[in-house]
């Protein structure tokens, strides 16, 4: 999913820094809204794993039913919020050129939300049963499809009109419909998943003797807030970068696009660790809870070290992939050096969120993440970007990213300490 955004940004960047900036602010707004419902769907995998640990196999179809209803409801609500952003885009304070390009593109992204959420519903149910290969294959195919459609619709190849930035929006809608349809086929057609289509449909007419709404929101609501606080901080950073100028926003966009790709490796380890921890938690195996949690943290840290070295070594080369504008390349390469530093914290905090979710510890971590980002990081980023000495590291868009780095580090320390506290519990 994130690689789709990566290639969208890469291919749109060839049109110039203004379409690149518009794509960046639109994706920031879209995921600012969408990340909360995405975070709620993460609870589905956790609950499935806990049910497996307790051997409550008869409840799977009912969980799928309630999860689907929650997913549709959240999709409608999130689409409404995106529409409100479209209708009041001027409040983001972007340049006229960026606003002109962004509004139609964000409208297209809005229409892709429902199929994207349907995909996450099916994927997280499958993930809970440790069947992740189907989702991996489907997302890779969708990525190839999206890149091909970008090539056709952005640049006007194969006889199609050149839609420019909007071409990336059309490609996103088509690829996300493919994701949703294919993932639903995997969920109800795979022998690895003990939920048939017929049982799922019949569950809507069953008595509500067992319902999972309370459990979904008990785990999913704080989990959604965790992701929301983090993504909202980066979306706010994009808005602040846009206040500084179009080139600053474009450099922020290219750097956050690359950093998001590397973050997904840690996020994948986090999801796997969460599922394993949740299953151990379901059968009350404290030894395995600790073992899976610590192994996840070690893996996440190791992956983060590798990407940090890549960012340090190839920062300018990576920036040049997205643009030929010298000022954007310079600012983007500097941001990637800062991103290299916070890779380590980012890896630890991503794993920490997952393993704590596996033991249904979500409320305190949500509060800690809110404090780290919104009480500390964002105010610091604003002060350093607007009031630092001119031509210093702490001035301009660099100051925003240093503030975010401090927030990531504080979040990582808090979450690691909380898991260590769990380990010391007899």
Give the 3-state secondary structure of 100-163.
HHHHHHHHHHHHCHHHHHHHHHHHHHHHHCCCCHHHHHHHHHHHHHHHHHHHHHHHCCCCCCCC
Q: What is the mean pLDDT of residues 13-24?
A: 85
Mean pLDDT of the region 28-55: 87
C-alpha distances (whole Å) from 245 to each of 97, 119, 236, 318, 327 are: 11, 36, 15, 21, 12
Asked if residue 135 lies in contact with residue 126, where contact means CB atoms within 8 angstroms, the answer is yes
Residue 377: alpha-carbon gap to chain centroid: 19
Identify the band that residue 4 occupies on the pLDDT scale cut at 50, 70 and 90: confident
Q: For tokens 């000022």, name the residue.
A: 327
Q: Return the higher-pLDDT residue of 73 and 260.
A: 73
pLDDT value, residue 150: 95
Per-residue model confidence (pLDDT) at position 393 = 61
- Kindly indicate the confidence band of residue 68, based on its pLDDT and cuts at 50, 70 and 90: very high
Taking the C-alpha atoms of residue 168 and residue 154, their distance in angstroms, rounded to an integer, is 6
Tokens linked to 213: 């709404």
> What is the domain partition of the chain in residue ranges?
2-423
Q: What is the mean pLDDT of the chain?
A: 88
Query: Residue 14 — pLDDT band, cuts 50, 70, 90?
Result: confident
- Whether pLDDT at 423 is above 70: no
Q: Rounded to an integer, what distance in angstroms lies between the CA atom of residue 38 and that of residue 121? A: 9
Q: How many CB atoms neighbour CB 423 within 10 A? A: 11
Write down the pTM of the prediction: 0.79
DSSP 284: T
For residue 354, the number of C-alpha atoms closer than 13 Å in the C-beta half-sphere is 28
pLDDT of residue 170: 96
Nearest to 154, CA basis, from 143, 170, 175, 173:
170
CB 102 within 8 A of CB 94: yes
What is the tens place of the pLDDT at every residue in 136-174?
A: 999 999 999 999 999 999 999 999 999 999 999 999 999
Contact present, 50 and 281 (Cβ < 8 Å)? yes
| Radius of gyration (C-alpha) of the chain in whole angstroms | 21
- Contacts of 349 by beta carbon, 8 Å cutoff, 6+ apart: 369, 408, 411, 412, 415
Q: In this predicted model, what pLDDT tens digit does every residue of 350-366 receive, in sequence order?
A: 899 889 988 888 888 88
Q: Which two tokens stand for residue 417?
A: 């300490």
Distances (CA, A) of 328 to 144, 316, 373, 392, 408: 28, 10, 26, 17, 24
Look up tokens 């709404």; give the residue: 213
């Amino acid at each position: 999913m994130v690689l789709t955004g990566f290639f969208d940004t890469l291919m749109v960047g060839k049109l110039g820094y203004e379409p690149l900036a518009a794509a960046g602010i639109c994706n920031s707004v879209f995921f600012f809204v969408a990340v909360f419902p995405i975070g709620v769907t993460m609870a589905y995998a956790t609950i499935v794993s806990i049910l497996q640990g307790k051997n409550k196999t008869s409840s799977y179809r009912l969980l799928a039913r309630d999860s689907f209803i929650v997913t549709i409801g959240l999709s409608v609500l999130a689409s409404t919020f995106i529409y409100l952003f479209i209708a009041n885009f001027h409040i983001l304070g972007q340049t006229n050129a960026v606003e002109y390009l962004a509004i139609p593109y964000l409208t297209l992204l809005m229409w892709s939300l429902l199929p994207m959420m349907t995909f996450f519903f099916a994927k997280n149910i499958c993930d809970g049963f440790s069947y992740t290969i189907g989702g991996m294959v489907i997302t890779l195919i969708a990525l190839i499809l999206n890149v091909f459609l970008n090539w056709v619709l952005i640049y006007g190849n194969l006889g199609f009109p050149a839609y420019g930035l909007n071409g990336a929006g059309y490609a996103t809608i088509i690829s996300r419909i493919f994701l949703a349809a294919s993932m639903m086929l995997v969920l109800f057609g795979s022998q690895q998943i003990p939920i048939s289509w017929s049982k799922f449909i019949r569950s809507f007419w069953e008595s509500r003797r067992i319902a999972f709404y309370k459990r979904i929101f008990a785990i999913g609501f704080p989990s959604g807030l965790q992701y929301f606080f983090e993504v909202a901080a980066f979306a706010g950073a994009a808005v602040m970068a846009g206040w500084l100028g179009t080139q600053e926003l474009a450099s922020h966009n290219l750097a956050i696009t690359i950093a998001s790709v590397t973050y997904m490796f840690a996020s994948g380890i986090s999801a796997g660790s969460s599922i394993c921890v949740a299953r151990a938690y379901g059968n009350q195996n404290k030894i395995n809870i600790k073992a899976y949690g610590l192994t996840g943290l070690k893996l996440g840290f190791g992956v983060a070290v590798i990407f940090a070295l890549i960012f340090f070594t190839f920062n300018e080369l990576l920036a040049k992939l997205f643009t030929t504008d010298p000022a954007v390349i310079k600012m983007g390469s500097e941001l990637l050096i800062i991103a290299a530093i916070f890779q380590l914290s980012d890896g630890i905090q991503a794993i920490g969120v997952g393993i704590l979710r596996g033991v249904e510890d979500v409320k305190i971590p949500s509060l800690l993440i809110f404090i780290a980002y919104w009480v500390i990081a964002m105010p610091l980023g604003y002060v350093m970007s607007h009031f630092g000495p001119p031509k210093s590291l702490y001035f301009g868009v660099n100051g925003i990213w240093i503030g975010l780095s401090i927030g990531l580090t504080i979040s990582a320390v808090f979450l690691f300490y909380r898991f260590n506290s769990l380990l010391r519990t007899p």
